Amino acid sequence: MIIVNLDVMLAKRKMTLSELSDKVGLTLSNMSIFKTGKLRAIRISTLDAVCRILECEVGDILEYVPDDNKETLSDTQ
């Protein structure tokens, strides 16, 4: 599963979600969905903008944690 650590990066940069949403050009509602990890997809351009503004790497925001309870992609093919 993918864990979203956007709140951690916002705290490190002393920035609010509202400030980030204004700078990225997304609604606060959509940015909140991203922060909580409830999003189903994200545009590369949005991820690029977030990383540029927060001066971080994609891996600082998104983290992969294996989930042993789910089938792997190869198991379904």
Give 22-56 as a 3 state SS string: HHHCCCHHHHHHHHHCCCCCCCHHHHHHHHHHHCC
Is pLDDT above 70 for 26? Answer: yes
Beta strand 62-64 with 2-4 is antiparallel
Is pLDDT above 60 for 73? Answer: no
At 69 the pLDDT is 63
> How do residues 45-72 score in pLDDT, each as one tens digit?
999 999 999 999 999 999 999 987 665 5
CATH architecture type of domain 2-76 = Orthogonal Bundle (1.10)
At 68 the pLDDT is 76
Secondary structure class of 10 (helix, strand, coil): helix
- Packing angle between helix 17-24 and helix 44-54, nearest 10 degrees? 120
Domain locations in the chain as residue ranges: 2-76
Is pLDDT above 70 for 22? Answer: yes
Q: Is the pTM of this model over 0.85?
A: no
CA-nearest of 32, 57, 37 to 47 is 57
